[in-house]
Amino acid sequence: MRPFLLLFAFLLNYPVFAQSAPPADTRNLLPVPTSVRWGTGKLSWKTMLRPQLQGPADTLTAAAVARTLRRLRRQAPATAAAAATLPLLVRYGNIGQPETFDEERYSLRVTPTGITIDAPTSLGVLRALATLEQLPELEGRHSVLPEVDIQDQPRFAWRGLLIDAARHFMPVSVIKRNLDGMAAVKLNVLHWHLADDQGFRVESRTLPRLHEVSGQYYTQAQVREVLRYAAARGIRVVPEFDVPGHTIAWQAAYPQLASGDTLYKTVYRSWRLANVALDPTKESTYALLDTLFGEMTTLFPDPYFHIGGDENDGRQWRGQPRIMAFAKANGMLKADGKTLDKHALQTYFNRRVLAMVSKYGKQMVGWDEILGPGLPKDAVIQSWRGRKGLYDAAQAGNRAILSNGYYLDLNQSAASHYATDPLPVNNPLTATQQQLILGGEATMWSEFADSVIVDSRIWPRAAAVAERLWSAREITSVPDMYRRLGAVAGQLEGLGLQHRRAPEQLLRQLAGPTADVAPLRTLARVLEPVKEYKRHFQGFTYVPSTPLNRLVDAAPAESDVAREFGCQVDTLLNYHTAAGAGLPATPAARVLLGTLRQQLQTWQANNSRLVPLLAASPTLTEYAPLSAALSTAAALGLERLAQLEKGQAPSVAWRAAALQQLDALNKPAGQTELAVLPHLRRLVESK
Ligand code: ACM
């Protein structure tokens, strides 16, 4: 093999493609590629694909190709005898390094005579393989690969997923299967939140009390195992050691770090925002951080190192005479000469930390609180509190990543994440400033996600973020996104993710060994956990040791059943509007009416099937009002359907009473809410 000649040949036949119109026929591809041309031929599963790699020898690329072939073969009929052996030709120029943002673009061609992947780097090969795994289509009982010519490249270079392994520890197996999920949708940065008030989760050889007080942690060997697993999938791993706030676990290990006078003997056993902070005035604080960061910057090879910096309101600093004296002596008081300029003191701390991180050859990343006068330009800002931080950072000349709008733990819809674009058309940045927007990260904070259910809180919604960050800005069809999200959800289960299996298992556990789980499942599938941070404030105090094994934990973050019901209601109401009165006498309208009626009848009847179980199980009793509400609301929906069918307009009195009833039913229980109520409201409201 002569890599140089090969590269030359490769560049000649590899056009840098211009932005073209968004592909119309997206099939199961997520994220949508830059350009897709479907052919009419196909590659049958009677074919054996023989990999042929042309590029610098690389075991990771060879392993990735073999992995994809194994996965594709699993979809072939077991009895398929190979009728032909055709090439899977993989040509790449260089071995790509994810940490230097090497190119990820690729072309993928499937024809009846074989498959060809061309990419400037091996990273492009990995992305092409991810696309290839989404190509199989069922033809009769067999899956085939359709003929296609795909050219693809990412819109943003930084496409991340944050996993909080500090609040609930996430074993290596959880991280690995989520890395597989990330690779499938072309996410390329794992932001590993490793330390918080509730735990410090990495073995430290230099400061072992940090992990010892925390109980569950990753050994350094396990960290390296995860890093290798990620690298093999073209994924960077950025560790976060959050300072100066969120540090009770650190203070439990090394009390001399504390600003306040409270002595923490254990890690924090609460979810309340603690607002504790490291003492920024003591040289011993920096000596300890320097020791730790020296060790951790060696363990984690990525050039970026996240130091957190969020949610320190400065109350401990203001309350400590020693710290106030330091602030006074160093000109960190406000104009009144008395009040602490918290930002000035934290910027001093940040600069000290940045110097350390730089000394170890890393670029510092921090949450948007660290942005302000005096922050050096080489710090990267991760914006979580709003879009403003992102643009302020770029306008100040700092690189920036968007997470606001991508908080998976807030249980918002995939559509809302999908609509969040780091650089929408009307953004306020100049072309040069736009270059500083590196991309974004979905965040999975883990107050309400343990290792069992975390997949169901990440997937499939994280895939909507992945598409927003990879695909062209013009790819915005929400129905098409949801259709493909459903396909990806199935694909991910095949890769070992448990976003469907784990909630189902939890339902079975809740129903007990003797009861039929079906009625409980029917209810659970139309429930969603309350949104945003409301779960903390609904009559149930969660602490880190609270088991996450109630119905709220089995409820989907976004109910597919409710969303699909909502789409059907809208379609029916569109028919109704077009017909003027009642419904048109078309087969489509009749079928839809029948589907909706059947769904509503199921919900109406579900309560009486479920009541015995709800009454018998102490952990389920609190959900009884929601089961009853579903039944009552469904009955109202059925009344409205009957009116529509007969072409009767509802009386003003009927509608008013029905809406009042729906409002009364709209009460969360057990930190969940009925996700179908807004859709039933639209149905009942219709004239
Ligand atoms: C954060 O959510 N406190 C970064």
State residue 8's pLDDT score: 37
Residue that the structure tokens 């709003």 belong to: 386
Contact by Cβ (8 Å): 453, 137: no
467 C-alpha to ligand 1 centroid (Å): 23
521 C-alpha to ligand 1 centroid (Å): 33
Ligand 1: residue of 193, 198, 310 to mutate (most ligand atoms within 8 A of CB) is: 310
Question: Which ranges constitute the DSSP H helices of 525-623?
Answer: 551-554, 560-579, 587-616
Cα–Cα distance for residue pair 191/236, rounded to 1 Å: 8
State residue 142's pLDDT score: 82
Mean pLDDT for 501-517 is 96
The beta strands (E) that lie in 506-631 are given as 527-529
Tally DSSP H helices, then E strands, for the chain.
25, 18
According to DSSP, residue 275 is labeled -
Position 498 confidence tier, pLDDT thresholds 50, 70, 90:
very high
The beta strands (E) that lie in 470-530 are given as 527-529
Cα–Cα distance for residue pair 545/565, rounded to 1 Å: 36
Mean pLDDT for 585-591 is 95
Q: Which atom of ligand 1 is nearest to the CA of 382?
A: 4
Question: Which ranges constitute the DSSP H helices of 134-244?
Answer: 172-184, 209-212, 220-231
Mean pLDDT for 380-394 is 97
The radius of gyration computed from the CA coordinates of the chain, to the nearest angstrom, equals 28
Question: Which ranges constitute the DSSP H helices of 272-339?
Answer: 283-299, 315-318, 321-329
State residue 408's pLDDT score: 98
311 C-alpha to ligand 1 centroid (Å): 7
Q: What are phi and psi of 82, to 5 degrees?
A: -70, 120
Q: Is the pLDDT of residue 13 over 70?
A: no
Cα–Cα distance for residue pair 191/176, rounded to 1 Å: 13
Cα–Cα distance for residue pair 177/425, rounded to 1 Å: 35
CA–CA distances in Å: residue 590 to residues 381, 600, 644: 54, 15, 11
State residue 74's pLDDT score: 83
State residue 3's pLDDT score: 36
Q: Is the pLDDT of residue 16 over 70?
A: no
State residue 139's pLDDT score: 87
Q: Each residue of 39-91: pLDDT tens digit? A: 999 998 778 899 999 999 999 999 999 999 999 988 776 665 677 899 999 99
Q: Is 524 helix (H, G, I), strand (E, B) or coil?
A: helix
Q: Which atom of ligand 1 is nearest to the CA of 407?
A: 2
Position 374 confidence tier, pLDDT thresholds 50, 70, 90:
confident
Q: Is the pLDDT of residue 276 over 80?
A: yes
Cα–Cα distance for residue pair 148/153, rounded to 1 Å: 16
Q: Does residue 180's CB lie within 6 angstroms of at least one atom of ligand 1? A: no
Q: Does residue 341's CB lie within 6 angstroms of at least one atom of ligand 1? A: no
Q: Each residue of 85-121: pLDDT tens digit? A: 999 999 999 999 999 999 999 999 999 999 999 999 9
Mean pLDDT for 386-392 is 95
Cα–Cα distance for residue pair 415/467, rounded to 1 Å: 12
310 C-alpha to ligand 1 centroid (Å): 6
- The per-residue pLDDT of the chain, averaged, comes to 95
Helix (H) or strand (E) holding 168: none
Q: Does residue 310's CB lie within 6 angstroms of at least one atom of ligand 1? A: yes
pTM of the model: 0.96
Q: Is the pLDDT of residue 11 over 50?
A: no
Residues carrying an active site annotation = 311
State residue 75's pLDDT score: 75
Count of residues making up the chain: 687
Mean pLDDT for 458-469 is 98
Domains of the chain as residue ranges with CATH: 2-152 (3.30.379.10), 158-493 (3.20.20.80), 503-685 (no CATH)
State residue 44's pLDDT score: 85
Q: Which atom of ligand 1 is nearest to the CA of 443?
A: 2
Ligand 1: residue of 191, 313, 407, 445 to mutate (most ligand atoms within 8 A of CB) is: 445
Q: Each residue of 127-169: pLDDT tens digit? A: 999 999 999 999 888 889 999 999 999 999 999 999 999 999 9
Ligand 1: residue of 194, 367, 385 to mutate (most ligand atoms within 8 A of CB) is: 367
Rounded to 5°, the CA angle 485-491-492 comes to: 85
Q: Does residue 58's CB lie within 6 angstroms of at least one atom of ligand 1? A: no
**Cβ neighbours of 658 (radius 10 Å):** 22
State residue 19's pLDDT score: 47
